[in-house]
Structure 1
């Protein structure tokens, strides 16, 4: 019993349940709880850039790591493109088979909302994406610093303080994660209180289709990728279960991103691979967002009785292959990227976006979870491919799962702090 009450997973799950109940029975109070969810995410965001910088800089500071950087970077880009394309195709196929838009009638829409998203879509450029995407900028700076340090004879003068700083940053992060239940409670209470469960009914078929498709993608495509290197998907999901619950409660993969990087390193992925793949994947390997975009595009075509020929469907896939890569760099990314896609295709009314406003928040959990798991799988796959994966660490992490998952236990010695 004592172990249950000191387990972070138990408290996060309890907080999500309590938040949902409060949102349903006292929506006015629940909406005010948004400050807890947003506050927790903002605090965790403070750790993202330092962790990315420290992880990748320390990881490639040795001469032996320089070749790894180029190889991993190239393979990561290829991996992201192949896997997200598979996700796109799966989304299009399932949406055409189940046809979630059949029987749904377009209602009067709020032109102000649509104008806002259309305006953001028309203003979007790739220069804006890279300029506004601080994750990519920090990653590039860290790579440069790592290369410079690797060439410097007296690099230990800098590496030792950075290693010590890294240790304290991760220690501070573990203390912050103790407040994860509050963040999960606030996020779930706000979602249910603001939109209500009744908003799910009209578009329930679409939601069920999206959730089912993402589950199939995780347990078939991602499972096969891990299985290729003899890593069990279920063991990995259990290993990151607390992070998954935090993502579910807050609807944000950012809330657990630093913790994911730490755990991937602790389970055997080398520091350079983690530092390169996770931040880059956060911008370019959004499997869940990709599935959502492809399915909602087909859904809106069905709602407005727009018959898409095979050529037009291939055009949708081609456009989404480009537009979906900018999803992490703009505010309200799902709608903005979807608006830009519909504008490019020019056959589906842009007003259809209003149909998705009520349920988008509920589907964002599925997007965030799929993106989060997808980036973890990508890191493990590429680490194994580069022979930068320690299976002994993985066995230790999975075997002592109960011990290592207890974030609040100070005497657990994390191997992720060791110099790679």
Structure 2
């Protein structure tokens, strides 16, 4: 029996055991179901041992983490510290990685025209895709009417989460420019770090070669070190992913997947529609290998899904896209910019959740008002970062601007963690696709070999 056949048999048997373990509790065989599911986890470990990639281990960790959350919720909630450690390590990587790669990409090539082309092409792509994502969210909730019939009392003067101040376009533009680069790095302001890196890279490119070379060598070395740092941190990813899911299931229980299930199914259905109706045609239009892209984003997407933070998968996503064939200068420019301008999952969520609030409150918005809401959310979605649950705060601001009652939003809080998993994954995948599209648009896709550090990291 070949190794591949043995691995497939282990995987198939493990999936059958998982299905059986899910059915047994319905037959009042709770203990037997738990044993069968743990046997499936062991079989999945055997399958993962035969693979060199971390992706199978991340999948195993997700299954094991969910099982720990079901069987031992008290212990599971204590595992959050492991996922928090991983997120802290990732946050130390993101800003230096973006700073070094973006400066190197701009100053190393010295072609300011190419930077300008990437900028306008990225913005055009971002706006088109974000608008389509907003429309898909609006259509999905209008079709399912998930909020209709949900009786939520609207109390005058009710207290709860305070809606943050409504952000105007002047505030957003001002917020893109850093007042202190150290503060921007400390607060994880990706767009501000990117703006600083762009200006720094342009200034460096304009210097004579003798002055530019030492700084350029430093940034090139720093980017290689940060990719190496990422490779080391990724060894901890399966543990962190398992801990994150264990905490989520242990804290909220299995009911988290049932509570307000219609809204959750509507959202994930809308994300599937986004992938099939928007992302897939884009890949075909720009001749991007579909299966190759799926394989490239599988690992960072699984990290983003389990941690509910697209930022957690960003370093690995940058490596994956470079290994996929996107030049580093494109990766370093497009993906960080996308974290403020191209949050596809957040865009779908914002229109869907806003209309859910309207339906739950028994209100009615005219078609013109709904179009106005989409335009307003197009701006509001630009302020969403890769931080877990940040979109919920934008929803509060949007509700205040649209004069919607806040009470239905409090209902969404109970399932926001489940929706945030898909939201973070769609955000990350959308930005990875944007980098590949811009590279193909520029005619540079597959024209540069990835660095040895990236190749080594992706082979592990």
TM-score by length of 2: 0.80
Cα distance between partner residues in 2 of 1:40 and 1:8: 15
Choose which of 130, 143, 156 in structure 1 pairs with 2:198: 143
Cα distance between partner residues in 1 of 2:401 and 2:361: 17
Listed one character per residue, the Cα deviations across residues 36-86 of structure 1 (whole Å, up to 9, x for unaligned) are 111101101111111111111111114542111111112211211111011
Listed one character per residue, the Cα deviations across residues 361-383 of structure 1 (whole Å, up to 9, x for unaligned) are 00001100100110011111111
Matched, 1:242 2:299: yes
Runs of 4+ in 1 over 6 A off after TM superposition: none
Is the CA contact (8 Å cut-off) linking 2:154 and 2:407 kept in structure 1?
Answer: no
Cα distance between partner residues in 1 of 2:415 and 2:360: 16
Is the CA contact (8 Å cut-off) linking 1:57 and 1:146 kept in structure 2?
Answer: yes
The 1:266–1:184 alpha-carbon spacing in structure 2 relative to 1, beyond 3 Å, is same
Corresponding residue SS for 1:114: coil
Choose which of 206, 219, 222 in structure 2 pairs with 1:162: 219
Choose which of 150, 161, 170 in structure 2 pairs with 1:114: 161
Matched, 1:41 2:87: yes
Count of aligned positions: 397
Task: Please list, as runs of the form range in 1=range in 2, the aligned pairs for 1:21-420 lying within 5 A after superposition.
Answer: 21-62=67-108, 64-106=110-152, 111-115=158-162, 118=163, 120-122=164-166, 125-126=171-172, 127=174, 134-152=189-207, 153-154=209-210, 155-328=212-385, 332-346=389-403, 348-390=404-446, 405-407=458-460
Alignment gaps of 5+ in structure 1: 408-420
Is the CA contact (8 Å cut-off) linking 1:8 and 1:406 kept in structure 2?
Answer: no
Listed one character per residue, the Cα deviations across residues 283-337 of structure 1 (whole Å, up to 9, x for unaligned) are 1100000101100111111112212111111121111111111122888422211
Cα distance between partner residues in 2 of 1:157 and 1:84: 40
* Larger RCO of the pair (alpha carbons < 8 Å, separation 6+): 1
Kindly name which structure, 1 or 2, has the bigger radius of gyration based on alpha carbons.
2
Alignment gaps of 5+ in structure 2: 1-6, 8-45, 179-186
Is the CA contact (8 Å cut-off) linking 2:135 and 2:374 kept in structure 1?
Answer: yes
Cα distance between partner residues in 2 of 1:13 and 1:179: 14
After TM superposition, give the deviation of residue 130 of structure 1 in Å. 5.3
TM-score by length of 1: 0.88
Corresponding residue SS for 1:161: helix
After TM superposition, give the deviation of residue 94 of structure 1 in Å. 1.5
